[in-house]
Structure 1
Amino acid sequence: MQFGDFYYPLPANEPVLQYAPGSKEKAALKAALKQLKSEKIEVPMYIGADEVHTANKSTMHPPHQHKHVLGTYSEGDAGHVKKAINAALKAKDKWANLSWENRANIFLKAADLLATKYRFQMVAATMHGQSKNAYQAEIDSACELIDFLRFNVHFLSEIYRQQPISVAGIQNRVEYRPLEGFVLAVSPFNFTAIGGNLPTSAAMCGNVVVWKPAHTQVYSAQLFMRILKEAGLPNGVINLIYVDGPVLGEECFNHPDFAGVHFTGSTGVFNHMWKTIGENMSKYKSYPRIVGETGGKDFVLIHKSANPDVVVAALLRGAFEYQGQKCSAASRAYLPSNIATEIKKKMVAELKEMKMGSVEDFTNFVNAVIDEKSFDKIERYIKNARKRDSGAKVIAGGKCDKTEGYFIEPTVIETTDPYYVTMCEEIFGPVLTIYVYDENKFDDILKIVDNTSPYALTGAIIAQDRYAVELATNKLRNSAGNFYINDKPTGAVVGQQPFGGARASGTNDKAGSILNLYRWLSARTVKEVLTPVTDYRYPFLQEK
């Protein structure tokens, strides 16, 4: 029996290491990169207490050096999905009944292991596996993932302390229990931190999880799973499997104990999930929680009062960090006519200085896109923009080469049509499309920004005129779930800018905030009458 209210206070964000010349962290990271590259690992699935190897092996390659082999992983089938579900359900009761402090401390220990023992190994794994430069990998796979773990423990403590009022003779309380069944977590390639947060946020609340990462993120996902195991995560609480999406959906969405899905990925896949879940409602014990963060076509709107240097910095970082493979990346920009020429000139000049290549060369700002499928898709958009009748032109970059790795130069397309295809469709690569508007028609461009894209994830206004800032903030209220003023539309920090968008960008359940955790809890209200009534009659029944 336990006594005491165990509360976890608000943590500080994990400090970002800068990897400056001559620093200890730079030397440690380079050593980790060298070590991982010299090894070829064999990655199993983690189902219950078992490390499962199969005969069906897939190889893992750095996107920037696709002929190099980092190792192999075992691909699963429908049978492995069933085993993962069964392992989760077997672990469910014991995990749900574990005391809060013992659950919480597993994830806090994992955060400490990430911050110390495994920091450089995790950053290096993300660099090799997902082609991120040192800084991008540091803020993702170290800082953000550590923050998710620590802040979510605090947020859950806050939820558990929220209790209803009690009046004389009546004692009220609320219990927060996990969902009835298992949660499916489906994570993308682009953020190691998302891969870690989707299963752990649900598990922290007492749920059991089947976790499927993107095939191109297995290299870092398996390392995080090993860290969780070392931190004391019991067998079966999170089950890591590598299967095709349709196979996964067929088993999970037809299971009566399916309780929810925590998803980050494409809008099309999420829409299909939602439709399938809806059609299968009669099979489930309860209404599943459907939480998704999907696509984006994120904008930067520049006002005529903006500082051109601020604009250029925001566009270059916002559009081309991690090769534009962030769902928050700046992909469409609206330049006012009075400063458009200056902005374009400075941006083109800066892009000529921007280096591209392997992550092992720390002077490279840009690395490779994730795989050949992505490369081919992005290249098609660039080739189409080069056609004479396209209504667009490439004013910077545009070179594509997949000989050694999947390299696409940071590319700027200028169009005279605000509804040109690359202003509307998500590309998910290092491509920024700009449109120049009449500096005196700010109200008109606000309407265009709002209705150009079905997405509403991130957006930014850059202006020195506060009336323009307020007008844009109000008019674009539904256009972006994360809105930035005089900044790029990327780089949300856990606890500071809860992340998520609406419209076609998802359910806006704000990863990195208390809001997201409510989705993985089911509340029960308990009322106890201390002195029960003994007569059904109310006073109003009496006439005298």
Structure 2
Amino acid sequence: MQEYLDFYIDGAWVPPSGGRTLEVINPANEEAYARIALGEVADVDKAVSAASRAFRSFSGTSRKERVELLETVIAVYKKRYDDIAAAISDEMGAPLSFAKNAQAAAGLGHLAEVLSVLRTYEFDEVINQTLVTREPVGVCGFITPWNWPLNQIACKVGPALAAGCTMVLKPSEVAPVSAIVFTEIMHEAGVPAGVYNMINGDGPVVGQALAAHPDIDMMSFTGSTRAGIAVARAAADTVKRVAQELGGKSPNIILPDADLARAVAHGTRQCFSNSGQSCNAPTRMLVPADRQEEAVAVARRIAGETRVGNPRAEDTMIGPVVSKAQFDKIQSLIEAGIAEGARLVAGGLGRPENVNRGYYVRPTVFADVRNDMTIAREEIFGPVLSILPYNSEEEAIAIANDTVYGLSSYVTSGDIDHARAVARRIRAGMVHINGAGGDLAAAFGGYKQSGNGREWGRFGFEDFLEIKSMFGYGIDAA
């Protein structure tokens, strides 16, 4: 068993202050393969103190210095790319090909994008006789999730470094090994001592201590809405900036003039990707009521073609979900769908055939789903698709917006202007039009209970900047 019992504080690996540990489980075989230490409040205090000291000098570094630092981080990341992918595959069950081509690639992409932003960003702006300048926000606390571990670490750490901030990272204790590899990358790249610190731990202790710490200037959290509320409450007493990327229940409106078969196939694959463990997954598929059976046939076929299996097997399309807790939650929600009258047309309860170990979930499709059903309201975070029939475009838009979430959404039409018009009416931070993918230079984030603030590109970079107005800047001295 691999042991990772130290934390990275002030440029060195140091022992924890307490003795709590946690086994890391490989979800493909339910076996412990690593052990980490769990931090205490004293470890958070030590890391925040290091970050505070480092901020005094790092905040004053030049654009050139930070560009060179990011270039080095990227170079070392590329060298350790396969190690990152392997860690992600082992800790959260992603097929190795997906871990390489999507998970590890996303982290590298965010670092490259923020480097591009930093090269040309205008920090100073003169308005009348006032200089408006943008400065690093300060010491940042990061809490990142297990479902896209390097994606979320890189899109916080990268822009924070570029802005001149210092930081303390608490990665998910469920999937911590990829964060340890990333920390080794930061060390090898020569990130100055105290600028980047990493503590493993749980939310109630380390996460709470970070959020409440008076010397943390900003908290950036990605995870469930429930946990995000806890972070915001803990942060409120010190009035620090809080950026949150939380849950989602994304609608996928397939309009009557769309190529239905193609749109349903694409949407179903997107829903099942990453074993359904993406906050922006298109889990509510809205189809014209008179064509629901066509949609059901296509979705059923895609579910049957989706190969679930060992993450290290070359033909595997989706692996297990991350943990027993997640598996049990998904099973209970599938049960709720059946009990509330949704029509099960593919998948269902239990593991796939010929699988008796590992947290594998059957790709599942429900039809005749109403938007008041539990499976249409709650984020399932598994390969479970709900098909909701609608009778008019107005009804489809109303159903799409009838949710406490507002992270992402999807619209498909045979007429691009029609798709764009519907997209403008959806209350969500993102809309994918006609199957378009994401854009690392655009803003990622949501409305309503899906969070606040934005990540990715220039928008994420600016979340780590404070704005200062210097009045009379252009007036000559008396």
TM-score of the pair, normalised by structure 2 = 0.92
Distance 1:424 1:185 in 2: 28
1:123 paired residue number: 85
2:396 paired residue number: 445
1:431 paired residue number: 384
1:29 paired residue number: none
1:284 paired residue number: none
After TM superposition, give the deviation of residue 429 of structure 1 in Å. 1.0
Distance 1:395 1:437 in 2: 18
After TM superposition, give the deviation of residue 274 of structure 1 in Å. 2.0
Q: Is the 8 A contact 2:159 2:461 kept in 1?
A: yes
Q: Is the 8 A contact 2:454 2:463 kept in 1?
A: no
What's the CA shift string for 1:21-50, capped at 9, x where partnerless? xxxxxxxxxxxxxxxxxx734352111133
Q: Is the 8 A contact 2:124 2:134 kept in 1?
A: no
2:110 paired residue number: 148
Distance 1:175 1:384 in 2: 53
**In the alignment, does 2:218 pair up with 1:268?**
no
Distance 2:446 2:44 in 1: 30
Distance 2:345 2:37 in 1: 44
Number of aligned positions between the proteins: 471
2:433 paired residue number: 485
Distance 1:407 1:189 in 2: 17
What's the CA shift string for 1:102-144, capped at 9, x where partnerless? 22222221112223x1121211211111211234322444322
Q: Is the 8 A contact 2:211 2:219 kept in 1?
A: no
Q: Is the 8 A contact 1:375 1:408 kept in 2?
A: yes
Match of 1:506 among 443, 446, 451: 451
1:189 paired residue number: 146
Give the secondary structure class of the aligned counterpart of 2:176. helix
Match of 1:521 among 465, 473, 478: 465
Q: Cα 1:185–1:294, aligned 2, differ >3 Å: closer, same or farther?
A: same
Q: Cα 1:43–1:513, aligned 2, differ >3 Å: closer, same or farther?
A: same
Give the secondary structure class of the aligned counterpart of 2:283. strand
Q: Is the 8 A contact 1:196 1:221 kept in 2?
A: no
Q: Cα 1:531–1:58, aligned 2, differ >3 Å: closer, same or farther?
A: closer
> What one-letter code is carried by the residue in structure 2 that aligns with 1:310?
R
What's the CA shift string for 1:171-207, capped at 9, x where partnerless? x644432224x21111011112112322332233111
**In the alignment, does 2:251 pair up with 1:299?**
yes
2:181 paired residue number: 223
What's the CA shift string for 1:150-182, capped at 9, x where partnerless? 22122234333542157xxx7x644432224x2
> Aligned residues: percent identity?
25
1:73 paired residue number: 36
Match of 1:408 among 361, 372, 381: 361
2:203 paired residue number: 245
Taking the TM superposition and a 5 Å limit, the aligned residue runs for 1:48-59 are: 48-54=10-16, 55-59=19-23
Q: Is the 8 A contact 2:67 2:119 kept in 1?
A: no
Give the secondary structure class of the aligned counterpart of 1:214. coil
After TM superposition, give the deviation of residue 462 of structure 1 in Å. 1.5
Q: Quick check: 323-332 or 255-264, which moved more? A: 255-264
Taking the TM superposition and a 5 Å limit, the aligned residue runs for 1:271-350 are: 271-278=229-236, 280-281=237-238, 287-350=239-302
> What one-letter code is carried by the residue in structure 1 that aligns with 2:7?
M
1:163 paired residue number: 125
Q: Is the 8 A contact 2:144 2:152 kept in 1?
A: yes
Give the secondary structure class of the aligned counterpart of 1:504. helix
Match of 1:421 among 364, 374, 377: 374
Q: Cα 1:189–1:468, aligned 2, differ >3 Å: closer, same or farther?
A: same
Distance 2:364 2:474 in 1: 68
Unaligned runs of 5+ in 2: none
After TM superposition, give the deviation of residue 474 of structure 1 in Å. 3.0
After TM superposition, give the deviation of residue 361 of structure 1 in Å. 0.3
Q: Is the 8 A contact 1:253 1:277 kept in 2?
A: yes
Q: Cα 1:498–1:134, aligned 2, differ >3 Å: closer, same or farther?
A: farther
Give the secondary structure class of the aligned counterpart of 2:159. helix
Distance 1:499 1:196 in 2: 14
Distance 1:255 1:178 in 2: 18
Taking the TM superposition and a 5 Å limit, the aligned residue runs for 1:30-45 are: 40-45=2-7
> What one-letter code is carried by the residue in structure 1 that aligns with 2:346?
A
After TM superposition, give the deviation of residue 340 of structure 1 in Å. 2.0
Distance 1:184 1:95 in 2: 16
What's the CA shift string for 1:349-379, capped at 9, x where partnerless? 2322221111110201111001011111000
Distance 2:135 2:424 in 1: 38
Q: Is the 8 A contact 1:391 1:417 kept in 2?
A: no
Q: Cα 1:87–1:447, aligned 2, differ >3 Å: closer, same or farther?
A: same
Give the secondary structure class of the aligned counterpart of 1:433. strand
Q: Cα 1:141–1:178, aligned 2, differ >3 Å: closer, same or farther?
A: same
**In the alignment, does 2:159 pair up with 1:208?**
no
Q: Is the 8 A contact 1:114 1:142 kept in 2?
A: no
After TM superposition, give the deviation of residue 415 of structure 1 in Å. 2.8
Give the secondary structure class of the aligned counterpart of 1:339. helix
Q: Is the 8 A contact 1:324 1:330 kept in 2?
A: no
Could you say what the CA RMSD is over the residues aligned between the two structures, in angstroms? 2.2
Q: Cα 1:173–1:64, aligned 2, differ >3 Å: closer, same or farther?
A: same
Q: Is the 8 A contact 2:443 2:460 kept in 1?
A: no
Distance 1:140 1:118 in 2: 15
Q: Cα 1:49–1:119, aligned 2, differ >3 Å: closer, same or farther?
A: closer
Unaligned runs of 5+ in 1: 1-38, 282-286, 534-544
**In the alignment, does 2:346 pair up with 1:396?**
yes
2:190 paired residue number: 232
1:64 paired residue number: 28
What's the CA shift string for 1:52-83, capped at 9, x where partnerless? 3344332222211222x432211111111111
After TM superposition, give the deviation of residue 511 of structure 1 in Å. 1.5
1:385 paired residue number: 337
Q: Is the 8 A contact 2:170 2:207 kept in 1?
A: no
What's the CA shift string for 1:301-343, capped at 9, x where partnerless? 1112221232232222211000110011111111113332222
After TM superposition, give the deviation of residue 222 of structure 1 in Å. 0.4
> What one-letter code is carried by the residue in structure 2 that aligns with 1:330?
P
TM-score of the pair, normalised by structure 1 = 0.81
Distance 2:475 2:401 in 1: 56
> What one-letter code is carried by the residue in structure 1 that aligns with 2:326?
S
Distance 1:531 1:184 in 2: 41
Q: Is the 8 A contact 2:254 2:260 kept in 1?
A: no
Q: Is the 8 A contact 1:91 1:237 kept in 2?
A: yes
